[in-house]
């Protein structure tokens, strides 16, 4: 009399078993997909690494311990290795490299798609005293001299151009003597020299603080190692230009160079020359400062919150020089509704007729279609 009940129980049991098997199969399939996806991802990453085109740069800047970190922190740098180069013996060691004429160098392997050789040169110049032919700071002798060792003709041309431009800027009171020479065989230094600043932080800090390197570099480039040195800017800029761009100052209204300038042309950063604003977007705001409804090259403009003087404003700075330019307000004309209130002291005006001569020919088209 209970036959049909037993059958129902059996069916339920079979159904549960099938459902369990189905879940197991579904989970197994999902895991298989994940495994394939993971394998494909690893394979893709491995292929990407194999197909990546890398280049080498070799620099000498005195003690190689001090030359690793500035390059290792750059996006696109794959490795930085301390070593020796330029001498007469093979496989030099720390005990004999100097006697054989080698100098301390770093070899930088980098991805040129992410970081340029010119960028590496910029960083290099801000780590050394390129006017010293006898060593670097506390370390004296040929083994600690500076040098740029090119691996291609293109690197040679870029290095020579960079050196000439730096010399012309007048950053240093003495001429630059850092040589530019073809790279020779690079020999990696012993393991205990690699990443010394990481592996032996206390000893490294003690050495570096006593070497005189940072005192010199702070004096030339400032503590932030800016692209334009404090020494250079004080020579190039007027006291007002320096106060405005470097110390976030503000010039007086109606008593500045461009507040009532009506000529056609563009306005560039007084420090870097990066193009910022156009006369086509300049208007009379009645404030006594040059005002623009929008930037000509938005990517050269950086904004940040400014809470000085017990109020909240939006500060405007240049991207490359990091110059303080002024502030932007939401009371401008249509269509933007913005007022970029700039300091004349942070700008240099280039008339339309001089754009080609000054290297800004690409902006002539804006005035030709007016």
Residues 6+ apart with CB under 8 A from 340: 277, 291, 292, 293, 294, 295, 316, 326, 328, 332
Backbone angles phi, psi at 55, to 5 degrees: -130, 165
Q: From the candidates 341, 342, 346, 355, give the one annotated as an active-site residue.
A: 341
What stretches of 53-97 show up as alpha helix (H) in DSSP? 69-72
Question: With contact defined as beta carbons under 8 Å apart, do 334 and 314 qualify?
Answer: no
Residue that has been written with the tokens 């010039």 in this structure: 251
Taking the C-alpha atoms of residue 109 and residue 76, their distance in angstroms, rounded to an integer, is 9
- Residue 66 falls in the annotated catalytic set: no
Catalytic residue among 60, 63, 244, 338: 63
b/e map 250-273, b = 16+ CB within 10 Å? ebeeeebebbebeeebbbbbbbbb
Query: Tokens in use for 21?
Result: 């098997």
- The H-assigned helical ranges of the chain are 3-51, 69-72, 117-125, 153-169, 196-199, 201-211, 213-221, 230-236, 239-247, 364-368
Are the beta carbons of 348 and 267 closer than 8 angstroms? yes
Catalytic residues: 63, 341
């Amino acid at each position: 009399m209970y036959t049909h009940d037993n059958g129902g129980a059996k069916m339920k049991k079979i159904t549960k078993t099938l459902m369990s098997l189905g879940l197991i199969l579904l989970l197994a399939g999902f895991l298989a997909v994940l495994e394939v996806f993971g394998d494909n991802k690893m394979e893709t990453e491995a292929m990407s690494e194999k197909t990546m085109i890398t280049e080498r740069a070799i620099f000498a800047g005195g003690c190689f311990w001090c030359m690793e970190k500035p390059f290792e922190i750059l996006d696109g740098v794959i490795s930085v290795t301390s070593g020796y180069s330029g001498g007469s013996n093979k496989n030099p060691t720390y005990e004999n490299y100097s006697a054989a004429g080698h100098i301390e160098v770093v070899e930088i392997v980098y991805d040129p798609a992410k970081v340029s050789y010119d960028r590496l040169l910029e960083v290099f110049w801000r780590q050394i005293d390129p006017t010293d032919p006898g060593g670097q700071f506390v370390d004296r002798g040929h083994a600690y001299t500076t040098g740029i060792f090119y691996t291609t003709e293109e690197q040679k041309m870029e290095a020579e151009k960079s050196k000439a431009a730096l010399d012309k800027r007048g950053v240093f009171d003495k001429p630059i003597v850092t040589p530019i020479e073809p790279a020779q065989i690079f020999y990696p230094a012993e393991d205990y020299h690699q990443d010394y600043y990481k592996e032996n932080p206390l000893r490294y800090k003690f050495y570096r603080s006593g070497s005189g390197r940072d005192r010199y570099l702070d004096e030339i480039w400032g503590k932030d190692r800016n692209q334009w040195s404090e020494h250079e800017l004080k020579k190039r800029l007027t006291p007002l230009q320096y106060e405005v761009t470097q110390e976030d100052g503000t010039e007086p209204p109606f008593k500045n160079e461009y507040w009532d300038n009506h000529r056609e042309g563009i306005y560039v950063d007084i420090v870097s020359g990066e193009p910022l604003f156009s006369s086509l977007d300049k208007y009379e705001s009645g404030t006594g400062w040059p005002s623009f409804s929008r930037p000509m090259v938005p990517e050269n403009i950086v904004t940040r919150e400014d809470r000085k003087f017990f109020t909240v404003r939006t500060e405007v700075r240049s991207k490359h020089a990091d110059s303080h330019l002024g502030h932007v307000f939401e009371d401008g004309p249509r269509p933007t509704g913005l007022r970029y209130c700039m300091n004349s002291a942070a700008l240099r005006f280039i008339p339309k007729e001089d754009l080609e001569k000054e290297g800004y020919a690409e902006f002539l088209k804006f005035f030709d279609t007016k």
